[in-house]
Structure 1
């Protein structure tokens, strides 16, 4: 198993070398192409020692921006090189135990950097550490509170349409079913650096534009959901060698954006938002709709909201919190 994972990691690294958009020309100064070289920090929104991530709010050329810094995992296929070529500084030694500060070569000491610019206040709130509350939303609450809120907001999903229309990230798509009713595109999520399998993370985005979330699904959507489940799992097994039994396939509610999409993550990865308060297994969704066509339009669904989320205020005003 370890040998297979090492082989897969090497292939992932090779295949993803040019799959993340335009790069600096050969021999050119990378700093000239760096969107963060002019970044000025205003505040740290959130940090996580456990996940080794830092969310920073600031400006790039007078535009609001968010920079997410994430230490990439140590890859199995680089361990020998790292131990042989790094420098060590002794911190403590006691009998058989010793600890060091290890300084690895630059190419083995990467920090994944995500840039959102121009960033909106909604982006800032998304990444700011806040108190969280659980909301119990009935079907009537969705109709009376949540749906009007969604309709009144300008939640742009243009970036999703850019993917579907091949205007952006076309080289990152690993599978597509072009059928307008049950089709979708499958591509790696930006949370995954595609250099190891234990944190595998892909997103299936449906071609249909009339399905916002779990609440819109009925038994009429079973062909779509089954198609995503079957072909998505097949594509991942073919591309990465990961079988369906090693995948967690689910939908979020509330979703982070209102265009129906499905998450595929490795069971080994404790992915953000994969907890029971937000994630709904696709297999469960299919079974529920087979038993009751209106299951998700009528049932009470529990989900978390941050303290300054505008939707939380709507529930408070309605006396639901």
Structure 2
């Protein structure tokens, strides 16, 4: 009897210690972050860390991957570029939108983007209709420059789980309804046992 075995492999190179920890199996805890938690725990933690996002600026400044840009809006206030995500495998739509100006979902001020224009660009390039696209942000994100993920619904994208992914259309609707929306509601996200941010929440008695 012939058996067909499917193996999925993710290669990250060069890999930092943070990358290695990300892919180790660990206990996970759900955090319910209020706006006060964000100001008193999360924001000071972010500010104390030296997260390197130079690779983002290299793309935005076209010092890297300029030939891979799928769509761009050069407007200095609301501009962005759309490029293949590092998980791109040529068989699944997996794209990353990087605004020229970054911010944080919890602060309630992500750039308002014309999703219809983006969907049209992706549909034209890859033949995937808007009804089959998942367009979302992560919170907590893996790096602190606002970015939006575009994936085909048929792709089981890492990080698309309910406790981390927020649909861009919902975020825009929430902010249109109330510009302070994300400063008034709590946000739930998962943290692995070894993450420093979890330790900060534990020290504050929030876990």
TM-score, length basis structure 2: 0.93
Larger strand percent: 1
Corresponding residue of 2:31: 135
Corresponding residue of 2:117: 231
Q: Distance in 2 between matches of 1:143 and 1:149?
A: 10
Q: Distance in 2 between matches of 1:100 and 1:113?
A: 23
Q: RCO (CA 8 Å, sep 6+): is it higher in 1 or 2? A: 2
Q: Distance in 2 between matches of 1:190 and 1:317?
A: 35
Q: How big is the shift at 1:231?
A: 2.3
Q: Distance in 1 between matches of 2:134 and 2:24?
A: 27
Alpha-carbon displacement from aligned partner over 1:51-91 (angstroms, at most 9, x marks no partner): xxxxxxxxxxxxxxxxxxxxxxxxxxxxxxxxxxxxxxxxx
Give 3-state SS (helix, strand or coil) of 1:234's partner.
Answer: helix
Structure 2 vs 1, CA of residues 144 and 238 (structure 1 numbering), >3 Å: closer, same or farther? same
Whether 1:201 and 2:87 are equivalent positions in the alignment is no
Q: Compare CA radii of gyration and give the structure with the larger one.
A: 1
Supply the RMSD in Å over aligned alpha carbons. 2.0
Q: Distance in 1 between matches of 2:12 and 2:137?
A: 25
Whether 1:158 and 2:54 are equivalent positions in the alignment is yes
Q: Distance in 2 between matches of 1:204 and 1:217?
A: 18
Whether 1:293 and 2:179 are equivalent positions in the alignment is yes
Alignment of 1:78-89 (within 5 A): none
Q: How big is the shift at 1:114?
A: 3.0
Q: Distance in 1 between matches of 2:169 and 2:191?
A: 25
Structure 2 vs 1, CA of residues 166 and 226 (structure 1 numbering), >3 Å: closer, same or farther? closer
What is the count of residue pairs matched by the alignment?
A: 207
Alignment of 1:135-284 (within 5 A): 135-194=31-90, 196=91, 199-209=92-102, 211=103, 213-218=104-109, 224-227=111-114, 229-284=115-170
Q: Unpaired runs of 5+ in structure 1?
A: 1-91, 93-98, 103-108
Q: How big is the shift at 1:180?
A: 1.3
Q: How big is the shift at 1:112?
A: 6.6
Q: Unpaired runs of 5+ in structure 2?
A: none
Corresponding residue of 2:13: 116
